[in-house]
Amino acid sequence: MASDMAQTSFPWLSLAIFTPIVFGILVLAVGRVSNPTVARVLALIGAIAGLLVTLPLYTGFDATTAQMQFVEKATWIAEYGVSYSLGVDGISLWFVLLTAFITIIVVLAGWEVITSRVAQYMGAFLILSGLMIGVFAALDGLLFYVFFEATLIPMYIIIGVWGGPNRVYAAFKFFLYTLLGSLLTLVAFIYLWHSAGGTFDILAWHKLPLGQTEQILIFLAFLMAFAVKVPMWPVHTWLPDAHVEAPTGGSVVLAAIMLKLGAYGFLRLSLPIVPDAAHSLSGMMIGLSLIAVIYIGLVALVQDDMKKLVAYSSVAHMGFVTLGFFIFNKAGVEGAIVQMISHGFVSGAMFFCIGVLYDRVHSRRIADYGGVVNTMPKFATFFVLFSMANSGLPATSGFVGEFFVIMGSVEYNFWIGLLAATALILGAAYSLWMVKRVVFGDITHQHVRELTDVNAREFLILGVMAIAVLYMGVYPAPFTDVMHVSVDALLKHVAISKL
């Protein structure tokens, strides 16, 4: 990791974090039950403004250096050596943009669907968006932790207030599961702070020499938080519950961004801070990842609830991501990052599609559908496209990441590569079988016959997502170019033992 960081003159990252938060508070303040449109419009303005202020990050990004860019640093709590320290490199850049982008989708997705307490709904999502960008941009351990934990509050409310019939159970499970992991991480953070002589600076932690036992314990503490968040087998069980009960927007954010917080934690913290532990425990990590890919893939196959099916497929896809991290080669890590971005688009779109059906029929059961293509041809086109992307069809974004990771795994060990490649088969099986049962076939239910095709708002969302998925599948260079140097630097750093 580069030591000195390029200072920037304009605080774009702070703006990226606080624009949505300020708009979120504004929406909460002006929103009235009598006039939900005000809240909707203001939220949309906030979400668009939030995306616009992240664009200079991309245009001004220098892809030739692994240093942190757009750095901001100010003392925050002097007594404990905590600073407000932000910066992005090639690894985190795209997640900032992705978060801002998904926020617009979420605001639009809830536009007329959410009718109760609209202002609170929109406000919660905007605040959540700012907090998640904060996680990706934080370079101070405590700041990272504050953002990481704070995301739980809006999500808890979102699932619990606007969720399905079993929402209370799902909200509690989501909150407590994640909290368990992150509290131990807090202890590890404080331990690192103490060992580093009173600094929470993540980049200083990267260089901190640590003994093997310390490293293993810290790695396991981090693993508790990040594995739950990713989620990895066997701590994934909160995810299907949360997804099934969450409103469409909640599922989209959860799958597209929140799961990435955990994976990002591995890249920014686990690998560079405790590289020796990462190496010595890589066997376990690869094993858990492969179980997620294969076993959870099989579990997805037998689901009769569409949201559950996509939720399990998310776990399987995230297994690919963690697999890519722990084979320690460039193809693996870059493939994993691309997979994360792609999964953000694809899973977001899948959950939105299910939301479109649910809004009309109020059922997520696969058996309640069949022959949707007859009444909703436009929708069916998109649904098939996203399902293809979900199963990793070439020319969609889903292919790029999976292909890289499989390539990397073969390079690492042929048999691991072979096992990972079965994901393509399983992914195709559960995705396409669902498409077959939902979209194609004869119409067997009266409510399917009465379906109306997507309206302009839904078409816009699906269209934008489709362009993103196809563009990334055909021409992934803009996504991968920015990360080459940073990934190289990370791998070089991880290869050097701290012992």
Q: Which of 2, 41, 49, 146 binds another protein (CB under 8 A)?
A: 146
Query: Residue 88 pairs with which residues in a beta bridge?
Result: 69
149 touching another protein, by CB under 8 A = yes
Q: Which of 6, 52, 183, 467 binds another protein (CB under 8 A)?
A: 183
Report the SS3 class of residue 77.
strand
Least Å from the CB of residue 196 to another protein: 12
Least Å from the CB of residue 33 to another protein: 9
Among candidates 368, 395, 374, 357, which has minimal Cα distance to 474?
A: 395
Q: Which of 45, 113, 161, 298 binds another protein (CB under 8 A)?
A: 161
Least Å from the CB of residue 110 to another protein: 17
Beta-carbon contacts of 300 under 8 Å, excluding residues fewer than 6 positions away, are 309, 312, 313, 316, 426, 430
Site for another protein in 53-92 (CB under 8 A): 75-80
CA distance 481 to 472: 12
Q: Which residue number, 6 or 180, has a Cβ lying nearer to another protein?
A: 180
Q: Which of 20, 50, 87, 160 binds another protein (CB under 8 A)?
A: 160
119 contacts 40 by C-beta, under 8 angstroms? no
Which one-letter DSSP state was computed for residue 254? I
Structure tokens at 386: 């996203």
Q: Which of 38, 45, 113, 153 binds another protein (CB under 8 A)?
A: 153
Task: For tokens 């002589």, name the residue.
Answer: 197
Least Å from the CB of residue 177 to another protein: 10
Q: Which residue number, 193 or 325, has a Cβ lying nearer to another protein?
A: 193
Among candidates 182, 174, 97, which has minimal Cα distance to 132?
A: 97
Q: Which residue number, 157 or 489, has a Cβ lying nearer to another protein?
A: 157
Among candidates 205, 206, 182, 211, which has minimal Cα distance to 193?
A: 205
Least Å from the CB of residue 32 to another protein: 10
CA distance 496 to 389: 37
Q: Which residue number, 78 or 499, has a Cβ lying nearer to another protein?
A: 78
Q: Which residue number, 152 or 202, has a Cβ lying nearer to another protein?
A: 152
Q: Which residue number, 184 or 298, has a Cβ lying nearer to another protein?
A: 184
Site for another protein in 116-145 (CB under 8 A): 117, 120, 142, 145
Q: Which residue number, 262 or 348, has a Cβ lying nearer to another protein?
A: 262
Site for another protein in 7-26 (CB under 8 A): none
210 touching another protein, by CB under 8 A = no
Least Å from the CB of residue 178 to another protein: 10
Q: Which residue number, 143 or 448, has a Cβ lying nearer to another protein?
A: 143
Which one-letter DSSP state was computed for residue 232? P
Q: Which of 176, 395, 425, 460 binds another protein (CB under 8 A)?
A: 176
Using CB atoms within 10 Å of the CB of residue 316, give its burial: 0 to 12 exposed, 13 to 18 middle, 19+ buried. buried
Which one-letter DSSP state was computed for residue 64? T
For every residue of 256-293, DSSP letters joined together read IIIHHHHHHHIIIIIHHHSHHHHHHTHHHHHHHHHHHH
Residues in binding contact with another protein, number by CB under 8 A = 35
Site for another protein in 23-52 (CB under 8 A): none
Q: Which of 58, 172, 459, 471 binds another protein (CB under 8 A)?
A: 172
152 touching another protein, by CB under 8 A = yes
Least Å from the CB of residue 37 to another protein: 18
Stretch that binds another protein, among 148-156, 230-238, 292-300, 413-421 (CB under 8 A): 148-156
Site for another protein in 98-117 (CB under 8 A): 117
CA distance 321 to 200: 27
- Cα 2 to Cα 5, 65, 89, 137, 485: the distances in Å are 7, 9, 11, 17, 11
Among candidates 76, 96, 93, which has minimal Cα distance to 201?
A: 76
Site for another protein in 189-208 (CB under 8 A): 190-191, 193-194
Q: Which residue number, 161 or 421, has a Cβ lying nearer to another protein?
A: 161
Least Å from the CB of residue 15 to another protein: 17
Query: Helices marked H in 377-455 — which ranges?
Result: 377-390, 397-412, 414-438, 446-449
Which one-letter DSSP state was computed for residue 7? B
- Residue 468 has a CB neighbour count (10 Å cut-off) of 22
Q: Which residue number, 32 or 436, has a Cβ lying nearer to another protein?
A: 32
Stretch that binds another protein, among 2-10, 164-172, 271-279, 452-460 (CB under 8 A): 164-172
Packing angle of the helix pair 141-150, 152-162 (nearest 10 deg):
10
Q: Which residue number, 221 or 389, has a Cβ lying nearer to another protein?
A: 221
Using CB atoms within 10 Å of the CB of residue 218, give its burial: 0 to 12 exposed, 13 to 18 middle, 19+ buried. buried
Least Å from the CB of residue 117 to another protein: 8
Which residues here bind another protein, judged by CB under 8 A? 75-80, 117, 120, 142, 145-146, 149-150, 152-153, 156-157, 160-161, 167-168, 171-172, 175-176, 179-180, 183-184, 186-187, 190-191, 193-194
